[in-house]
Amino acid sequence: MKRSALLAVATSLLLALGDASATAADGTAKVLRYAFRVAESSFDPAQITDLYSRTLVAGMLEAPFEWAYLERPFRMRPNTAAAMPEVSADFKTFTIRIRPGIHFADDPAFKGQRRELTAADYVYALKRHYDPRWKSGNLYILESAKILGLSELRQALIAAKKPFDYDQEVEGLKALDRYTLQIKLAEPAPRFMQYFADASFTGAVAREVVEFYGDRIGEHPVGTGPFRLGSWKRSSRIVLERNPGYREVRYDEQAPADRPDLQAVADQLKGRRLPMLDRVEVAIIEENQPRWLSFLNKEADLLDELPADFAHLVIPNNRLAPNLARQGIRMVRFSRADITHSYFAMEHPVVGGYTPDKVALRRAIGLAVDLEREIRLVRRGQAIPAQSTIGPNVWGYDPAFKSEMSEYNLPRARALLDLYGYTDKDGDGWRDLPDGKPLLLEYATQPDQQSRQLIEQWQRNMDALKVRITFKTAKWPENLKASRSGKLMMWGVGWLAGQPDADTFIAMAYGPNKGQSNHARFDLPALNRLYEQQRMLPDGPERQALIEQARRLLIAYMPYKVHAHRIFTDLTQPWVTGYERNIFVREQWKYVDVDAAAQAAALK
């Protein structure tokens, strides 16, 4: 890149990330600046499913529970709840007592009155996912849990063509008094409370705020969390400000015994009032090089997920480069509970279906994907091959399991296609469908650099198999919308677990979740039964056996070609303290501090 172009990029990044020097230099404001590579979609928990929007919302709204920031193994603890939930012996009834004296951030919807958080706010927030008006992408989680009466109420009102009735009480979701919430389920759900540690899903929302803003509620998040929305330029820049009405919460973390470095930070920050930051400024920078330059030029304090393109320069042999270490830059390396995958639309006439010929087509395509090359060239070694749809760091993951999912075997792939009639029937050099019609794959992708590199690998793999493939490029939110509507044939994305459990990975293939977590629209009765059985069992050998059966069915039918489990590296500038990666904590900003004087000096 020419020097003039680099200067232009740097100038635009300063504008996008915000010039913190004016406020940081006087010592009054502590600002954390960094960038997302994908734009936000909304700030309404009833309308979002993407990682980036959920990360922002988690800083503003609060769930009853949270994951302890530094502790390993992962532990859930009270947040707005006064204590851990009371759980019935049959795992069907859950009682949560909300701590009195917690208030929402000030907002015009409250007409000048200070608004206390109550159990009714959580009742209302959960009911919103059942309201067809909001088209919740997380409804499948609650409906799978079978909260007594709510799905029935939803269906009755849809049939009667009436709006959702928030005042209609149901047996399964009640505020027993001002501070007590009770949930009753039709079936046992031993891990149900884990969803109530995710503010971007079960965070409290005030009814008067939703009614005040109506269809624009996604632009006006109002919660009880440590931050509130300060300013927002869609798909460009989001600023969260410290919530002046946030209750008194003190830093009190215990690091793992094998991490004295983290314990030193925990000791340093112990007793500090949260949050320690005054602002969090997030820019949207889709391309990897400008994002990296923003950090390298000290215009960003945190690089969230080092782009794999720069891994060989920044972390050669997975160790921080000496020139960066000398600057005091810190590396936080971690694996998520995640998978990267390409799905096949099971209702599509070309790649979908459950007959042997359709299964053979998907498995042949999967066998033709050179994962070693993809991980080496595109992901720069920052991933491991996936053996199944279940990601690491969750209960139910087996690191010793090996399968066809990671196998690259072009001769076998060709033989499968030959066996089931996917041969070149018109002599043009490309395979056709068994009925003689052209075989043409269409793969959805995004316009960023890594997506372009990934589809280059797809082109190479399919050329070797003599299968034609085309690519349809659109922005991430557009592809997400099209995918939920069942309009894509194939799409490559990642999937993250929000809780340390394998359930979410099997839920990707559960039939009733079509158009929600189940983007492939896979619907196999045998898999559905296994999913329903395992989710009602406590953790143990019986549940593990069911998960293994489900895993093998998904390998056999191949609705998802799972590629890899990614390994990530975050980088922080030397003036940032307290930052660590708990993969189940989205609201980590409240634990982070910035030395404003050192930050300002670096910007001069």
Q: What is the pLDDT of residues 195-241, one digit of tens each?
A: 999 999 999 999 999 999 999 999 999 999 999 999 999 999 999 99
Measured between alpha carbons, how far is 439 from 465 in angstroms, rounded to an integer? 12
Residue 14: per-residue pLDDT: 41
Residue 462: per-residue pLDDT: 98
pLDDT grade for 28, boundaries at 50, 70 and 90: low
Number of other CB atoms surrounding residue 576 within 10 Å: 22
Residue 309: per-residue pLDDT: 85
Return the axis-axis angle of helices 288-296 and 3-17, rounded to nearest 10°.
80
**Beta-sheet strands, E only, within 278-431:** 279-284, 302-303, 330-335, 338-344, 383-385
Q: Are the CB atoms for 574 and 327 separated by under 8 Å?
A: yes
Residue 237: per-residue pLDDT: 97
pLDDT in tens, 53-86: 999 999 999 999 999 999 999 999 999 999 999 9
Residue 20: per-residue pLDDT: 38
Give the contacts of 462 (CB within 8 A, at least 6 positions apart): 365, 368, 441, 468, 469
326 class by beta-carbon count within 10 Å (0-12 exposed, 13-18 middle, 19+ buried): exposed
Q: Which residues pair with 302 in a beta bridge?
A: 572
25 pLDDT above the threshold of 50: no
Mean predicted lDDT score pLDDT of the chain? 93
pLDDT grade for 19, boundaries at 50, 70 and 90: very low
Record the tokens describing residue 53, joined without a space: 């929007």
**Beta-sheet strands, E only, within 336-400:** 338-344, 383-385
Residue 478: per-residue pLDDT: 93
Residue 22: per-residue pLDDT: 34
Q: Are the CB atoms for 246 and 275 separated by under 8 Å?
A: yes
* Span between the terminal Cα atoms of the chain, in Å: 24
Mean pLDDT across 360-383: 96
pLDDT in tens, 426-445: 999 999 999 999 999 999 99
Mean pLDDT across 547-560: 98
Q: Are the CB atoms for 441 and 488 separated by under 8 Å?
A: no
- Compute the radius of gyration of the chain from its Cα atoms: 25
Measured between alpha carbons, how far is 549 from 540 in angstroms, rounded to an integer? 15
Measured between alpha carbons, how far is 600 from 592 in angstroms, rounded to an integer? 17
Mean pLDDT across 600-604: 89
Q: Are the CB atoms for 494 and 125 separated by under 8 Å?
A: no
pLDDT in tens, 137-150: 899 899 989 999 99
Residue 516: per-residue pLDDT: 86
Mean pLDDT across 594-604: 92
* Entry field: residues in the chain: 604
> How far from 587 is each of 56, 82, 227, CA to CA, in Å?
8, 20, 10
pLDDT grade for 9, boundaries at 50, 70 and 90: very low
Measured between alpha carbons, how far is 5 from 11 in angstroms, rounded to an integer? 10
Mean pLDDT across 361-368: 98
Question: In percent, how much of the chain has pLDDT > 70?
Answer: 95
Record the tokens describing residue 258, joined without a space: 């094998």
8 pLDDT above the threshold of 80: no
Measured between alpha carbons, how far is 472 from 494 in angstroms, rounded to an integer? 18
Record the tokens describing residue 584, joined without a space: 């189940």
pLDDT grade for 562, boundaries at 50, 70 and 90: very high
Residue 120: per-residue pLDDT: 98
DSSP state of 310: G
Domains annotated for the chain, with CATH where assigned, are 3-21+251-334+573-603 (no CATH), 42-227 (3.90.76.10), 338-566 (3.10.105.10)
φ/ψ of 101, rounded to 5, equals 85, 10
5 pLDDT above the threshold of 70: no
603 pLDDT above the threshold of 90: no
Record the tokens describing residue 326, joined without a space: 């000398």
Minimum mean pLDDT range among 16-30, 308-322, 408-422:
16-30
Give the type of residue at 117.
L
pLDDT grade for 13, boundaries at 50, 70 and 90: very low
61 class by beta-carbon count within 10 Å (0-12 exposed, 13-18 middle, 19+ buried): buried
pLDDT in tens, 162-196: 999 999 999 999 999 999 999 999 999 999 999 99
Measured between alpha carbons, how far is 569 from 584 in angstroms, rounded to an integer? 16
pLDDT grade for 590, boundaries at 50, 70 and 90: very high
> How far from 157 is each of 46, 133, 146, 407, 512, CA to CA, in Å?
19, 12, 17, 49, 20
Residue 27: per-residue pLDDT: 56
pLDDT in tens, 456-491: 999 999 999 999 999 999 998 899 999 999 999 999
Mean pLDDT across 547-573: 97
